[in-house]
Structure 1
Amino acid sequence: MTAIMENEQPIGGRIRAARELRGISLRRLAQATGLSSGFLSQLENGRSNASVATLKKLAAALGATTAELIDGTSPEGRVLRKADRPAFHDGDGLVKYLLTRTPQRNLEVYAGEIEPGGGTGEELYVHGNAQEVLVCLTGQVEVRLAAETYVLDGGDSIEYLSSTPHGLRNIAGTRSEVMWIISPPTP
């Protein structure tokens, strides 16, 4: 699964910069995340992709938020043009766009486009203990929260704590669009 940045510095470079800024070796980051040094090296060099769950692990180990790994800019204005939105592809049919930026960010907002059968991956993930709202804008998605499963149609939303193991999958025959709203931002 690859996190491919669509603007500015690739996400692998951002991860390397965050790691080096904090004086963390590749080996130490591997130990902290449970990921292999080889995989992390490939990710930092743009030869591998990262799932949402992997980005959450890396952000937590680096003391950053996922949004900070995705978006390395700090614009003065609050307008974020569609063409300038930081985005990544996780390789499982999900494209996730960051809609908020530092320094004003007190919450994270993401928009996602999910191809049929795509999603956040089989592994449920957690990040921090924030309030998270998922809105299904179009299509139909299956949301897993721990042992429970919910189906959301366009216009439906679900609210949960980000510390609850969660994941989602597009169960529609067409692309589904979703939005995540998380407050406060999580690692």
Structure 2
Amino acid sequence: MSNSPFPHQADTVTLGAAVRRARQRLGLSVEGLAEQSGVSTGQISQVERGLANPSLKTMDKVATALGTTVASLLSRTSPEGVTVVRSDQRTDLPLPDQLEGYRRELLTPPGLAALQVIRTVLPEGYTNQDSPYRHLGYESVTVLQGRLQVVVGTTSVVVEAGDTINYECSTAHYWANAHPGETIVQGCVIPVQP
């Protein structure tokens, strides 16, 4: 008899998919999540594939390393297909070595795989030029305040407040705050699973 709070196969598969999406959203490898959570790589791999029946203590360690809660990982849309993510209930998407003032928040439910809406606050001087992103999917980013330089491959574009830039994510890309103050953007990502 297991002491797991996730006794049904469907629950463990749903939980595993949510853990994988949250880990990938943060750009973490299975090994990176294992290191940050203190849970073995083998156990994280089994959780993500829905093969493990993890304890609440294990899932709390994993959720904490992902910057969320077990409840958020388990949340699903309501039967009517309507969810509200309140401003004080957003999932933080922290980055390692992020600048003070940098903040990324998921505006869609953590378990929603088809679309991710993310609000990002970039402090003055921010750039991730030294560690650009590259992943499968498509992004659409609107500058709400300030000015954003977006570099996709060899193409560099400055996006002003009110403008939107759209691009494939499979090419290495990075952002830089091109404003003498805070820049706030809202991006929509349609992730593609390999």
Change (3 A) 1:95 1:183: same
Give, in angstroms, the shift of residue 42 of structure 1: 5.0
The alignment status of 1:127 with 2:120, answered yes or no, reads: no
1:7-53 Cα shifts (integer Å, max 9, x gaps): xxxxxxxxxx96xx99xxxxxxxxx95x9x6x7665225xxxxxxxx
The count of residues paired between Structure 1 and Structure 2 equals 137
2:115 to 107, 111, 116: 107
CA RMSD of aligned residues (A): 3.4
Q: Give the match for residue 92 of structure 1.
A: 98
Structure 2 unaligned residues grouped into runs of 5+: 1-14, 21-27, 39-47, 50-65
Determine the structure 2 residue equivalent to 1:79: 84
Aligned pairs for 1:11-160 (under 5 A) are 42-44=35-37, 69=66, 72-75=73-76, 76=78, 78-90=83-95, 91-93=97-99, 94-101=102-109, 103-128=111-136, 130-160=137-167
Is residue 98–residue 110 contact of structure 1 (8 Å, CA) maintained in 2? yes
Quick check: 2:142–2:187 contact (8 Å CA) kept in 1?
yes
Cα separation, 1, equivalents of 2:191 and 2:33:
27
Question: Partners of 2:35 and 2:157 in 1: how far apart?
Answer: 36
Q: Distance in 1 between matches of 2:153 and 2:74?
A: 34
> Normalising by the residue count of structure 2, what TM-score does the alignment of the two structures yield?
0.58
Greater RCO, CA 8 A, separation 6+: 1
Identical-pair percentage: 23
Which contiguous aligned blocks of 4+ residues in structure 1 show a shift greater than 6 angstroms?
none
Post-superposition Cα deviations, 1:106-133, rounded to whole Å, max 9, x if no partner, equal: 21110000100114352222111x2211
Structure 1: state its 5+ residue gaps.
Answer: 1-16, 23-31, 46-61, 64-68
